[in-house]
Amino acid sequence: MQTMFPIIIDVLFSLGLTWAVGSSTFAITFYMVALSDGTIDPSEKRLMHTVYHVLRIGQALLILALIGFALQPGFVVTNVYIAQWFLIGVVVLNGLLMTKHVMPMRFGPILAGGSWYALFFVSTLPFNETPLWIIATIYIGFLAFFYVCFNGFKKKFVKTQA
């Protein structure tokens, strides 16, 4: 069983990352499509809540996996591990603030999308020896990318309320 633990943790992490990034992508896309007519109707809200549940399950799996990584013999904290916890912290805080309607919707989806995609990128590519400032620069790049895409989509497709 001892040799199965790292495999189980890797699977939990991969599954959590897949569910979280995939559902985040769908949530942001569906939010933009739902807004294209100027309002979000009850059926659109229901579907978005379902997507958010999948996202939260993925998030929980990621947190469990990161704790599991730290419990493995010989574990060493890397810059990637630090970045993963930071990005998950940003996503959790952003989600709480969006739920409480403290985070404006013009920033929340950008922060969510940029953070999830940065987490995916940093987690799947070999960045273990990469300095944190480079990882932070990559994160800022993802935030800028999501800002441009989100606002570009809104300008082109979303009706403004009169």
Boundaries of domain holding 59: 4-157
The number of domains in the chain is 1
Query: CA 143 → CA 54, 75, 77, 112, 159, distances in Å?
Result: 23, 30, 25, 9, 24
More confident residue, 43 or 23: 23
**pLDDT at 21 exceeding the cut of 70:** yes
Is residue 162 one of the residues assigned to a domain? no
Q: What is the mean pLDDT of the chain?
A: 92
User: What pTM was estimated for this model as a whole?
Assistant: 0.90
Quick one: pLDDT at residue 154?
A: 83
Q: What is the pLDDT of residues 95-108, one digit of tens each?
A: 999 999 999 988 99
Is residue 115 one of the residues assigned to a domain? yes
Is residue 129 one of the residues assigned to a domain? yes
Quick one: pLDDT at residue 64?
A: 98
For residue 106, the surrounding DSSP H or E stretch is: none
More confident residue, 14 or 1: 14
Tokens at residue 86, please? 């930071």
Quick one: pLDDT at residue 162?
A: 45
